[in-house]
Amino acid sequence: MIPVSDIEWSTAEKEIARQAFKKAYQREITALIQVVREQAGEITKLDDIWLLHDFLSARRHDIDGKYDHRDSLLIFTFAQLVKEGWLHLDELKGLDAEKISKVSVLTRM
Amino acid sequence: MIPVSDIEWSTAEKEIARQAFKKAYQREITALIQVVREQAGEITKLDDIWLLHDFLSARRHDIDGKYDHRDSLLIFTFAQLVKEGWLHLDELKGLDAEKISKVSVLTRM
């Protein structure tokens, strides 16, 4: 079995991956914007502001790390995005079966 | 001339200082809440969120540092609060003349 980090991506697969990535990212960002607007609307005291700040610090760290485009991490990233509900497995259609199977296995871990 | 850090504060003066501190703090926090609510209402993309995050990081650092209650820093803190418009010099009425004069001189630096 090929280690995940050594998997080769064809040009067609890279394009599918790019599109899937983009979709998940758009969904997550749209949801985040919605949450921040709602949370901000409920701010009435300083603690609420620092709570929002802590929340944004955590989300920024998470998002910056998660949407890493390195090929060697794509399988892990996709598994995480599927797990979190930002991506559907069938949106990876077109990748070879082994890649989809790896992602699928990882989502159940 | 007594160094600012060696100035003694009477009980009555400490109470005046506490009240002045509280007023300035309330004003600054109220203004901050307003700004954050407005800024959050205008969020439409991820960059706006990270801009808000950067803004909150800076404000938090500033506010945590500024409202330091140590007696030895009070004169400097008051000067800064007056300079920034959160406190009026006449709200320090009741402190001895030398303290008010020091604050006043520092606001012009």
Asked if A7 has any chain B CB less than 8 Å from its own CB, the reply is no
Q: Please report, for residues A61, B2, B93, B106, the alpha-carbon distance to residue B15 in angstroms, rounded to integers and kept in the order given.
A: 43, 22, 12, 22
Q: In terms of DSSP H, where are the helices of chain A? A: 11-41, 46-66, 74-84, 97-107
Inter-chain residue contact B37 with A40, CB threshold 8 Å: yes
Average pLDDT of the residues in B84-94: 95
* Cβ contacts of A29 within 8 Å, gap of 6 or more: A63, B45, B46
Q: Does A105 touch chain B (CB under 8 A)?
A: no
Q: Which domain holds residue A54?
A: 14-107
Could you tell me if residue A84 is inside a domain? yes
Q: What local confidence, expressed as pLDDT, does residue A21 receive?
A: 93
pLDDT confidence of residue B48: 93
Contact B32, B86 (CB under 8 A): no
> Which burial class, exposed, middle or buried, applies to B10 when counting CB atoms under 10 A from its CB (0-12, 13-18, 19+)?
exposed
What stretch of H or E contains B37?
helix B11-41
Q: Any idea which residue has 């009026």 for tokens?
A: B88
pLDDT of residue A1: 64
Residue B2 is assigned to a structural domain of this protein: no
Give the residue-averaged pLDDT of B68-82: 88
pLDDT at A19: 95
Q: What is the reported pLDDT for B1?
A: 64
A32 CB neighbours in chain B (<8 A) are 46, 49
- Judge whether A6 lies within some domain: no
- Does B49 touch chain A if contact means CB atoms closer than 8 Å? yes
The answer to whether residue B9 scores a pLDDT higher than 80 is: yes
Q: CA of B58, closest CA in chain A: separation in Å?
A: 11
In a domain, B77, yes or no: yes
Cα separations (Å) of A28 from A14, A16, A21, B16, B46?
21, 18, 11, 50, 10
Is A2 within a domain?
no
For residue range B22-72, what is the model confidence (pLDDT) as tens digits?
A: 999 999 999 999 999 999 889 999 999 999 999 999 999 999 888 877 888
- Whether residue A1 lies inside any domain: the answer is no
Q: Based on the structure, what is the number of domains in chain B?
A: 1
Q: What was the ipTM of the complex prediction? A: 0.77
Residues in chain B closer than 8 A to A37 (CB atoms)? 40-41, 43
What's residue A58's pLDDT?
A: 95
pLDDT < 70 stretches in chain A: 1-2
Rounded average pLDDT over B81-102: 95
Q: Is A3 among the domain residues?
A: no
Residue B6 forms part of a structural domain: no
